[in-house]
Amino acid sequence: MPLSMASVGEQFLVKKVSGKEDVRRFLEKLGFVPGAEVSLVSEICGNVIVQIKDSRVAISKEMAQKIIV
């Protein structure tokens, strides 16, 4: 399922990152690579704040839909 549909407080493993090459590369630099642990911290109007590695990252709803967990 896309990260945008995940529930707040749950932990997931990234399975796949889809989208255009530049979008995938951007998300990889943030740490969204297959096998990475991600937890959803909060969600406002579809935009999400996620905990990945040792940092929190805010991403748009469109970006979150490209991350399959």
User: What is the pLDDT, as a whole number, of residue 37?
Assistant: 94
Query: Would you give per-residue pLDDT tens digits along the chain (69 residues)?
Result: 999 888 899 999 999 999 999 999 999 999 999 999 999 999 998 899 999 988 999 999 999 999 999
Q: Enter the tokens of residue 36.
A: 């990475």
Evaluate if pTM is beyond 0.95: no
- C-alpha to C-alpha distance for 63 and 43, rounded to whole angstroms: 13
User: Under DSSP, is residue 30 helix (H, G, I), strand (E, B) or coil?
Assistant: helix
User: What is the pLDDT, as a whole number, of residue 12?
Assistant: 93
